[in-house]
Amino acid sequence: MSTTRISLIVLGFIAIVAYFTLFTVLEVKNAIVLQFGDPKRVITEPGLNFKIPFIQNVIFIDNRILDIDAPAAEVIASDQKRLIVDAYVKFKIVDVLEFYKAFGNENVARSRISAVVNSRIRGVLGEEPLSAVLSDDRSKLMKQITSLAEAEVKNFGIEIVDVRIKRADLPEANSQAIFGRMQTEREREAREFRAKGAEMAQKIRSTADKEVTIIKSQAEKEANIIRGEGDGMANKVFADAFGKDPEFFAFYRAMQAYAEGLKSSDTTMILSPESEFFQYFGTYSE
């Protein structure tokens, strides 16, 4: 066997041993070295490490802040209002060994944390009325939930960083009922607004009609006064004229009577020629 082939075999053996012996821990991970399932070492610093091949194995656990989208939970508030709460959780694994002993892997931990948080959400929000859950007091309630959940899981090597409500809705049946009540209330308000508008319109029309009547009456009064004054002035002019020349005034009045009495083409009058009405016709004279 040639020296080259022996060298290749040795290098291959070394590569296999290195593959099963060496491992790298990334900055975002922590590692636990297990020997037949029993934890032997915890590695928190990044870099190259080793293990006993075929006897020991390594599991990696994330050391970043992780998210859990907790399943929606139905909460009954203190005023007996039902609410569907959809929350999310931010947590961090701070003690790798305790975490592994308690859960073994991240999936089991997520399930347990979700159950703990949902339980605390029901407990805290169940002591508050619906108005508090939907108001600015929610932040205070979330801090309380975070603190309670943190106290329950801290012995498992987990830190609850934050708990937040993404969505808080009423159940579908309650939503429809509330929508119906809101619609009825809005319709009632609309009827009240229309009634008030009609009442105001009627008052405006009544006021306007009253003002029109007053203005017309005042105008008619002033017109009658003016007509009366005009008639008085006309009578005075006529009286003055009659006093100055009674004969001319009689002639003028007779001409006016002719114009009014004979202006229609079908006027028929039967009078004696000696009637005073014809005193200015023909040659008749007294």
CATH number at residue 108: 3.30.479.30
Q: What is the pLDDT of residues 196-228, one digit of tens each?
A: 888 898 889 888 888 888 898 888 888 888 888
CA distance 61 to 109: 12
169/12 Cα distance (integer angstroms): 63
Alpha helices in the chain (DSSP H): 3-21, 96-103, 106-125, 130-133, 138-153, 172-244, 246-261
Q: How many CA atoms lie within 13 A of 228 on its CB side?
A: 6
Q: pTM surpassing 0.75?
A: no
* Count of domains forming the chain: 3
- Which residue range forms the structural domain that includes residue 111? 66-170
Domain match, 56 and 116 both: no
pLDDT values of the chain reduced to their tens digit, one per residue, 286 residues: 567 777 777 677 777 777 778 888 888 899 999 888 888 888 888 888 888 888 888 889 888 999 888 777 777 777 777 778 888 899 999 998 899 888 888 889 988 998 888 888 888 888 877 777 767 777 888 888 888 888 888 889 899 988 888 777 766 555 555 566 778 888 888 888 888 888 898 889 888 888 888 898 888 888 888 888 888 887 777 777 667 667 777 777 777 776 766 666 666 666 666 666 666 665 544 4
Q: What's the pLDDT at 285?
A: 44
Residues 6+ apart with CB under 8 A from 51: 21, 23, 33, 57, 58
* pLDDT value for 145: 87
pLDDT value, residue 284? 43
Considering the domain architecture, whether residues 36 and 109 belong to the same structural domain is answered as: no
Of 123, 140, 170, which closes a domain?
Answer: 170
Question: Could you tell me if 46 and 75 lie in one domain?
Answer: no
